[in-house]
Structure 1
């Protein structure tokens, strides 16, 4: 048997639609892992978190968008992400009690207040100095609400496929633990 040199390859090629159908539309992550990484990185984790949500959404929906821009300017795209998650829940027939608009608004407002407070010159007000740290908890709460909805929309209410800490996660946690120790020492030790 002679091979035809001009024939297309006979290898099976996966269809992009099949790949999109098997992936999740949104980023799935366990909420404990989300909170640990958010706190350890002093609130920098949302950049990665939003990027992953938008990158998955882009691939799944074959949308022309820039996930990195949506992650860096998250406050302008938070409502859209929450709305897309809620729409997916409704399309899938999943009953999930949450308010996407309220969750997104709370995230945006708390993030803006935290950013403004972190720009106040040190020593002007003890509350302004501590406000960015105090607001980490309520911001994390809004992210957990949105993540629980995204996990449910992807059929993984507990985020089972991504709830274990990887070696990279541990590196961030160790570095964050060191930074938190330095912040606490600097905050509570008396200045000579």
Structure 2
């Protein structure tokens, strides 16, 4: 999951292809969203040293709106059409975090699956990031290919998904 040198130098945010984000999020039951948020904060820390990426990731329910607003603002500055509102996307993010938390607290097993819904707001924002970077970063540096670690995560995720499926059927 190491970023290309050009991406680190020219990218304003964490660059990852849409398909790759979806695949890794589904394979990790939505936990890759934390990696995605953390990597965005790491990239933003290069511009603002006061940012603490780990803290902002752990408190994503508080700081995710700031991330969404930064992406939206940059999208508008680059004259890219972000057809989403940061506050509305953030509200979805909060709802998609609260529902699974409530399900897990009440002992409902679907909470583990419902947490994957957080992919949806992050996906909208990631698509805006990709449009921002289309003019700044060459295609070969846009983090669309799967590396060894990514394949390992995907294979482990498929095994876990298949195990759950077999257990549910039997």
Query: Smaller-chain TM-score range?
Result: 0.7 to 0.9
Deviation beyond 3 Å, 4+ runs, structure 1: 19-22
Q: How does 1:128-139 map to 2 (within 5 A)?
A: 128-136=108-116, 138-139=117-118
Counterpart Cα distance in 2 of 1:156 and 1:140: 25
- TM-fit CA distance, 1:20: 10
Match of 1:174 in 2: 155
Match of 1:119 in 2: 105
**What are the superposed Cα offsets for residues 63-102 of structure 1, whole Å, 9 maximum, x if unpaired?**
3121011112211111110000011112222233222211
- TM-fit CA distance, 1:135: 5.0
Match of 2:77 in 1: 91
Q: Could you tell me which of 162, 168, 173 is aligned with 2:143?
A: 162
Structure 2 residue matching 1:77: 3-state secondary structure: helix
Counterpart Cα distance in 2 of 1:62 and 1:141: 27
Residue ranges of structure 1 left out of the alignment (5+ in a row): 1-18, 122-127
Identify if the C-alpha distance between structure 1 residues 20 and 143 changes in structure 2 by more than 3 Å, giving closer, same or farther.
Answer: closer
- TM-fit CA distance, 1:118: 1.9
TM-score normalised to the size of structure 2? 0.85
Are 2:33 and 1:57 aligned? no
Q: Is the 8 A contact 1:89 1:153 kept in 2?
A: yes
Residue ranges of structure 2 left out of the alignment (5+ in a row): 1-5
Match of 2:29 in 1: 42
Q: Is the 8 A contact 2:29 2:115 kept in 1?
A: no
Equivalent residues, number: 162
Q: Which has the higher contact order (CA 8 A, sep 6+)?
A: 2
TM-score normalised to the size of structure 1? 0.76
Identify if the C-alpha distance between structure 1 residues 64 and 108 changes in structure 2 by more than 3 Å, giving closer, same or farther.
Answer: same
Alignment RMSD (CA, Å): 2.4
- TM-fit CA distance, 1:25: 1.1
Match of 2:56 in 1: 70
Are 2:104 and 1:104 aligned? no
Match of 1:80 in 2: 66
